[in-house]
Amino acid sequence: MRRLVIGAVACAALLAGCADDDNGGEGGTNDDGVPSTLLQRDDLPDVEKVTTDDRSILTKTNCADMDGEYNLTITDSDDVSALYVLADGDQVRSSLQGPAQNQTTVDHTLEQVDTAVTACSAPGAATGTFARIEGLPEGAVGFRTVTDTSEGPQTTERAYAAADDDTAVVVTVDHVGEGEPAVTAAELLPKALERAQG
């Protein structure tokens, strides 16, 4: 009888651990293969497709001063990224990245992004509209661009925030067509920080 009880307890513990992993529990991945430190399916509107990548990936913007942002994603860390395609076609990317190469903290990355956002927000600096995202958590920086494409206006929002000295959270929202994205980078950033910080 005692063996049965011990076996039942062990099975219950195992199932609990599996449940944590399925939901992106601490240190695990969910059924989509998304680490617990990234945004999860439940954090977003209806999700149609999920893919993951072992690097941080950025959508090109409409301002030349932001081109250096690509260099900041080249790091010495094991970066990871998840792309969610929503039911309405919008895309949300949740990423973690380490310091840019030859840097010791992510503060340098955030400083350079902030400088580029300021430059791109100047009149005539971008080929479409470019604006800083206001109201982000302290120390965070983000921007919103709108560019005309053959499929209609494309809106890209991206927000950065330091989760700790070694890790930056990056949230990107892409929307093509009229209207607004189903969810904004500003809305998602606090949850992304919570996930990254465990």
Q: Rounded to an integer, what distance in angstroms lies between the CA atom of residue 165 and that of residue 182?
A: 31
pLDDT for the residue 72: 77
- The contacts of residue 168 (CB under 8 Å, 6+ apart) are 96, 97, 98, 106, 109, 110, 160, 161, 162
CA–CA distance, 25 with 68 (Å, rounded to integer): 35
In this predicted model, what pLDDT tens digit does every residue of 49-107 receive, in sequence order? 999 988 767 778 899 999 888 777 777 677 789 999 999 999 999 999 888 887 888 99
Q: How many domains does the chain have?
A: 2
Give CA 40 to chain center in angstroms.
Answer: 10
For the segment 142-168, the average pLDDT, to the nearest whole number, is 94
Whether 96 and 180 map to the same domain: the answer is yes
Q: Which residue has the higher pLDDT, 150 or 72?
A: 150
Residue type (1 letter), 79? D
Ranges 1-10, 76-85, 113-122: which has the least confidence:
1-10
Lowest mean pLDDT among 25-29, 73-77, 113-117, 144-148: 25-29
CA Rg value for the chain: 19
State mean pLDDT over 31-51. 94
Q: What percent of the chain has pLDDT over 90?
A: 61
Find out whether 186 and 171 touch, Cβ atoms under 8 Å.
no
**Number of residues written out for the chain:** 198
Residues 24 and 59 in one domain: no
Residues 18 and 71 in one domain: no
Task: Provide the domain limits for residue 17.
Answer: 1-31
Closest of 169, 23, 183 to residue 87, by C-alpha: 183
Task: Indicate which CATH number applies to the domain containing 50.
Answer: 3.40.1000.70
- Alpha carbon distance 113, 65 (integer Å): 10
Instruction: Report the greatest alpha carbon distance in the chain.
Output: 78
Q: Tell me: do 177 and 86 sit in the same domain.
A: yes
User: Model's pTM, two decimal places?
Assistant: 0.83
In the chain, % helix, strand, coil (3-state, to 5) comes to 30, 30, 40
Q: Is the pLDDT of residue 40 over 70?
A: yes
Tokens of 121: 């927000």
Residues 81 and 174 in one domain: yes
Let me know whether 95 and 177 are in one domain.
yes
Question: How does pLDDT run across 164-179, given as a tens digit for each residue?
Answer: 988 999 999 999 999 9
Indicate the DSSP class of residue 133: P
Same domain as 27, residue 43: no
Indicate whether 106 and 192 sit together in one domain. yes
138 in the same domain as 175: yes
Same domain, 14 and 70: no
Asked whether residue 104 falls in the same domain as residue 53, the answer is yes
Same domain (yes/no): 26, 49 = no
